[in-house]
C-alpha cells in the first residue's frame, strides 16, 4: 500500500550531501526571524494568552497589539545595541497599521520578507486564485514601501495549500521558510522551477516554546543557548543554519526580553566563529555554492 507523497524534494540524509561553507569559512549561519503581525479585530485567528471568549476578544487582541506598540520597539533597541541584523517577516497589513515600525527596520537595512496579509487568516483555506491574488498584493505592498521586492516568504501559521510553492516562485520569490524539515537549505520542485527551502525553527520559536509548551523566558533563553552550542559543535561535520523565531508580543514583554538578551549576548560573544546574517543572504549564498541541480526540480 503506497503512502501519499508531496513530491517536492527527495530524502537525502544530512551526512550524505556535498560539503560547503558559508562566507569566511564559517560553518554555522544564524539568523533572527522577527515576525511583525497584525490581527483583525473581533474575528479570525490569533495566538491566545488565555482561552478566548466571545468576540470581540479584547484580552487576546490587546495582548498581541502590545507587540507592535511596545515590544517590537524594545526589541529594535536590543538589536541596535548588539549590532544584529534581522529578517522581518511582515504581514502586509502592517504597512498601513504601523508604518513607523516597518520604516525603522528598513532604516536598519533589515530584510523584509513576505508573511501574508494578516495572521488572522490561513492561506491554506484559499482557492488558488484567491491565494495568488493575496501573494501578489502582499508582494506589491512590500515592494512599494521598501523599493526592494521580497525574496522570501513565510505563510501565516505555516499554512500552505497544495499550490503555494508554485505560486511563490511564479510571484518572484526564490526561497520559502515554510518547511522545517532540515538544518540545511533544500531545493524544492515546483511547476515553474526550483524554490529553496531555508530552515525556519519550530523549536527555537517563542510561540511553540512559550505559548504552547508553557516554557518560561529563562527556559527559552536556555534553549537558544543550548541549540547554538550544540549546532556549533555539529557544524564541524556539516555546515548548518540556525534560525531564531521571535514574536514581539511574546518575547517583547520586559521579563522575556531580558532573558532573550542573555541568549543573544552569548551568541554575539562568539560572532567571530559563526555567520550572523539574514535569511535572504543564506539563500543567495547557498544557491551560489550549491548550484541548482539540472534535473528533477520541476513538477
| pLDDT for position 173 | 98
Domain membership flag for residue 244: yes
CA distance 166 to 247: 27
| pLDDT for position 291 | 77
Per-residue pLDDT tens listing for the chain (299 residues) = 899 999 999 999 999 999 999 999 999 999 999 999 999 999 999 988 888 889 999 999 999 999 999 999 999 999 999 999 999 999 999 999 999 999 999 999 999 999 999 999 999 999 999 999 999 999 999 999 888 999 999 999 999 999 999 999 999 999 999 999 999 999 999 999 999 999 999 999 999 999 999 999 999 999 999 999 999 999 999 999 999 999 999 999 999 999 999 999 999 999 999 999 999 999 999 999 987 766 555 66
Q: pTM above the 0.85 mark? A: yes
| pLDDT for position 49 | 87
pLDDT in tens, 230-258: 999 999 999 999 999 999 999 999 999 99
pLDDT in tens, 137-190: 999 999 998 889 999 999 999 999 999 999 999 999 999 999 999 999 999 999
| pLDDT for position 50 | 86
Domain membership flag for residue 266: yes
Q: How many domains does the chain have?
A: 1
CA distance 124 to 121: 9
Domain membership flag for residue 107: yes
| Beta carbons within 8 Å of 37's beta carbon, 6+ residues apart | 64, 67, 91, 94, 115, 118, 119, 156, 247, 249
Domain membership flag for residue 25: yes
Domain membership flag for residue 272: yes
| Beta carbons within 8 Å of 84's beta carbon, 6+ residues apart | 32, 78, 264, 268, 276
Domain CATH number, residue 204: 3.20.20.370
**What is the extent of the structural domain holding 207?**
20-42+54-289
CA distance 121 to 153: 15
Domain membership flag for residue 294: no
Domain membership flag for residue 299: no
Domain membership flag for residue 3: no
Amino acid at each position: 500500500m503506497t503512502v501519499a507523497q508531496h513530491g517536492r524534494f527527495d530524502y537525502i540524509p544530512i551526512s550524505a550531501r556535498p560539503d560547503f561553507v558559508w562566507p569566511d569559512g564559517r560553518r554555522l549561519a544564524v539568523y533572527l526571524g522577527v515576525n511583525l503581525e497584525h490581527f483583525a479585530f473581533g474575528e479570525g485567528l490569533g495566538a491566545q494568552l488565555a482561552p478566548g471568549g466571545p468576540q470581540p476578544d479584547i484580552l487576546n487582541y490587546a495582548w498581541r497589539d502590545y507587540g507592535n506598540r511596545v515590544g517590537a520597539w524594545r526589541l529594535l533597541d536590543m538589536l541596535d545595541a548588539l549590532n544584529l541584523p534581522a529578517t522581518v517577516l511582515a504581514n502586509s497589513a502592517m504597512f498601513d497599521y504601523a508604518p513607523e515600525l516597518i520604516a525603522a527596520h528598513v532604516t536598519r537595512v533589515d530584510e523584509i520578507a513576505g508573511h501574508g496579509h494578516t495572521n488572522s487568516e490561513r492561506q491554506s483555506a484559499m482557492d488558488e486564485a484567491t491565494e495568488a491574488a493575496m501573494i501578489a498584493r502582499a508582494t506589491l505592498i512590500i515592494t512599494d514601501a521598501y523599493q526592494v521586492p521580497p525574496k522570501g516568504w513565510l505563510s501565516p501559521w505555516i499554512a500552505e495549500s497544495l499550490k503555494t510553492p508554485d505560486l511563490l516562485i511564479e510571484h518572484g520569490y526564490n526561497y520559502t521558510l515554510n518547511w522545517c524539515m532540515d538544518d540545511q537549505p533544500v531545493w524544492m520542485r515546483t511547476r515553474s522551477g526550483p524554490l529553496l527551502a531555508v530552515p525556519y525553527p519550530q523549536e527555537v520559536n517563542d510561540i511553540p516554546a512559550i505559548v504552547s509548551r508553557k516554557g518560561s523566558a529563562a527556559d527559552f533563553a536556555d534553549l537558544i543557548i543550548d541549540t547554538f552550542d550544540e549546532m556549533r559543535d555539529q557544524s564541524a561535520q556539516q555546515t548548518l543554519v540556525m534560525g531564531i523565531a521571535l514574536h514581539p508580543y511574546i518575547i517583547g514583554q520586559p521579563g522575556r526580553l531580558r532573558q532573550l538578551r542573555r541568549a543573544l549576548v552569548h551568541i554575539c560573544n562568539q560572532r567571530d566563529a559563526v555567520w550572523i546574517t539574514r535569511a535572504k543572504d543564506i539563500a543567495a549564498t547557498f544557491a551560489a555554492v550549491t548550484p541548482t541541480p539540472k534535473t528533477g526540480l520541476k513538477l
